[in-house]
């Protein structure tokens, strides 16, 4: 696979099943995971 140490990785769709699994996997690597925070107005 790719060496992600020290890299910044942006994950689209982090709230979905595949995106959430990807984020969990990337958190085990030595990289910075970037996600978009969605603000919901109720």
**Predicted local confidence at residue 35, as pLDDT:** 87
* Residues 7-38 pLDDT 10s: 999 988 888 899 899 889 988 888 899 988 77
Give me the residues paired with residue 29 across strands. none
Q: pTM value?
A: 0.70
Flag whether pLDDT at 6 surpasses 80.
Answer: yes
**Predicted local confidence at residue 21, as pLDDT:** 93
* CB contact burial 16-39 (16+ within 10 A = b; e otherwise): eeeeeebbeebeebebebeeeeee
Query: How many CA atoms within 13 Å lie on the side-chain side of 1?
Result: 6
**Predicted local confidence at residue 4, as pLDDT:** 85
């Amino acid at each position: 696979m790719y060496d992600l140490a020290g890299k910044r990785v942006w994950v689209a769709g982090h709230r979905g099943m595949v995106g959430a699994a990807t984020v969990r996997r990337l958190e085990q690597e030595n990289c910075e995971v970037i996600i978009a925070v969605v603000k919901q107005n109720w």
